[in-house]
């Protein structure tokens, strides 16, 4: 399995970190892109803007051998091309600026370009907005992307599994992301009814 994962400047970068950890635990090849503002939010919310340091400090992985990190302004990387076959892309979290640029077809950085490639190549594109509340322009952009084939998966955690801590809440969203990417997960079992 091969995926593209992006982290943008919205709050909630832990969703992106947990998605990355779980993809790597499945031994997936992951092409990671972090926006400039995403690095700032990583530093604020996780204590560092260096993804390798964050992964090491969290000590959840025995190996990061499938991880490929690309700079956000480098268009000469595989995710920028439609000929680069992969199983899907997730932008976690996805800032409203990125939503707007992708909806308008503006590929001004590698994240927006890779998302545009997913749409034109009909590959899964999962967008995880965390913004609230939403105004009409946000909703219009989200609807436009949904109509174009993207999956809009808000960072809205589930409570029916009686989460014991913040990581369990985060993992309820990550489980849905992995499900929509077609990646096996055991973070949260499917609902079996009450």
Phi first, then psi: what are they for 33, rounded to 5°? -130, 130
35 is in an annotated binding site: yes
Residues 6+ apart with CB under 8 A from 32: 5, 6, 7, 20, 51, 67, 68, 69, 70
- Rounded CA separation 49/46 (Å): 8
The answer to whether the annotation marks 149 as part of a ligand binding site is no
> Is residue 130 marked as binding?
yes
| Cα separations in angstroms, 148 against 56, 103, 120, 142 | 38, 9, 9, 10
160 annotated binding-site participant:
yes
Say whether 11 counts as a known binding-site residue: yes
Binding residue ranges for dimethylallyl phosphate: 160, 176
Binding residue ranges for FMN: 9-11, 35, 130
Binding residue ranges: 9-11, 35, 130, 160, 176
């Amino acid at each position: 399995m091969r995926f593209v994962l992006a982290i943008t400047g919205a709050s909630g970068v832990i969703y992106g970190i947990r998605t990355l950890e779980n993809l790597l635990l499945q031994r997936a090849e992951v092409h990671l892109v972090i926006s400039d503002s995403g690095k700032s939010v990583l530093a604020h919310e996780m204590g560092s803007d260096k993804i390798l340091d964050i992964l090491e400090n969290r000590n959840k992985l025995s190996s990061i051998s499938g991880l490929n990190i690309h700079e956000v302004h480098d268009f000469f990387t595989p995710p920028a091309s439609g000929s680069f076959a992969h199983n899907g892309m997730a932008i976690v979290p996805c800032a409203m600026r990125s939503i707007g640029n992708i909806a308008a077809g503006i590929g001004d950085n590698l994240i927006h370009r890779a998302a545009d490639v997913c749409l034109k190549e009909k590959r899964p594109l999962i967008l995880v907005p965390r913004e609230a509340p939403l105004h009409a322009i946000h909703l219009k952009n989200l609807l436009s992307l949904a109509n174009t084939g993207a999956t809009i998966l808000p960072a809205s955690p589930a409570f029916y599994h009686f989460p014991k801590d913040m990581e369990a809440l985060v993992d309820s969203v990550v489980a849905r992301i992995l499900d929509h990417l077609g990646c096996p997960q055991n973070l949260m079992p499917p609902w079996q009814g009450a």
